[in-house]
Structure 1
């Protein structure tokens, strides 16, 4: 039986090496904007509104809101480029992940199902040398809905033909409940399990 094993991206395949707000604060500082918690809130709200509505480039909406709040002479587009650069630089792949992907890829196709924009998410996968492992990478923007909606899972099925589909992810609602509702076998990733999780996954699938 052919089993396709699919993974979430942020918080599963890759992890930030420090709190995300600190990374964002460094982006602000790099463009001459003070580290004000209220600006984080303004950026988060603008991002979430645009992201939930599937508006293009929600990161720019966030940075534009921050620039407006600060009354700063900064370029939101340049800030977005810095944010992506910093997300790549300050993210890591946990010990055991690559060995697990190597082993699983020998037995069947692998995929990624991630909430986000295709180019943004693929850039992070490529930065860490992971893109080559996956037969299909589905981002929620191209599916027209975010997990836990079934649309990203259905899009993955269109791209990978298998008899069984497994979803590995850290977000219980999006990755576990969403996968189960879509007919995938869910596996909940919890980072505190460390390398032992990836060893166990190799044995389970």
Structure 2
């Protein structure tokens, strides 16, 4: 029986080395020589407004609003470029996750289903030399809707023919409920809770997958 194992990206395969707010603050300090709570909030509000609606270039949408509020002549593209580099660099992959996914790739088709822009999400995988390990990368921007909508999961099914589809993620609503509704076997990565289809860490995933065979 063939099994396709899909992972969420941010917070599951990749962990963050610092709060994302600090990445925004560092970006504004680097480009504008200042960062205030109001500017960070302006960025977040405008970014998420565009991101939620799957509008093109949500990062630029957020930074244009920051630029206007700060009355700066710094190009929005410069702010976005700085944020891009910092967002990619602030992610990390544990040794356990590397070893596990290397082992799983020998037995299963591995993929990623992630809410985000294709270029940014694939860049994170490439930064950690993981892009080739995951044969299928599906982003919500490609699918036209964010998890838990069924569209990203359906697109993954279209790209991979398997008997069983598994979704591993840390976000209960987006990954677990979304995956379950789409017919995936959901595995909740909850580092504080165990039991049922929950696992504390990715190292516990191998045995669970073997039980599905």
Q: Specify the alignment match of 2:196 in structure 1.
A: none
Structure with more relative contact order (C-alpha pairs < 8 Å, separation 6 or more): 1
Q: How far is 1:190 from its partner? A: 2.3
RMSD of aligned Cα (Å)? 1.4
Structure 1 match to 2:121: 121
Q: Which residue pairs with 1:202 in the alignment?
A: 206
Name the counterpart of 1:171.
171
Give the corresponding residue for 1:58.
58
For residues 8 and 177 of structure 2, the distance between their equivalents in structure 1, rounded to whole angstroms, comes to 13
Q: TM-score, normalised by structure 2?
A: 0.92
1:92-111 maps to which residues of 2 (within 5 A)?
92-111=92-111
Residue in 1 that maps onto 2:80: 80
5+ unaligned residues in a row in structure 1: which ranges? none
Whole-angstrom distance in 2 between the partners of 1:191 and 1:139: 24
1:43 corresponding residue in structure 2: 43
The 8 Å contact of residues 166 and 187 in structure 2, kept in 1 or not, is answered as yes
Is the CA contact 2:28–2:35 (under 8 Å) kept in the aligned structure 1? yes
Any idea what the Cα deviations from partners look like across 1:178-205, whole Å, max 9, x if unmatched?
0000000111112458x96222101111
1:144-197, Cα deviation, whole Å (9 max, x unpaired): 11000000000000111100000001111100000000000111112458x962
User: In the alignment, is the contact (CA less than 8 A) between 2:191 and 2:200 conserved in 1?
Assistant: no
- Between the two proteins, the alignment pairs up a number of residues equal to 204
Secondary structure of 1:165's partner? strand
Aligned pairs for 1:129-168 within 5 A = 129-168=129-168
1:15 maps to 15
Offset at residue 91 of structure 1 (A):
1.1
Moved >2 Å (runs of 4+): 190-193
CA contact (8 A) 2:140 2:146 kept: yes
Distance 1:186 1:161 in 2: 18
Counterpart of 2:189? 189
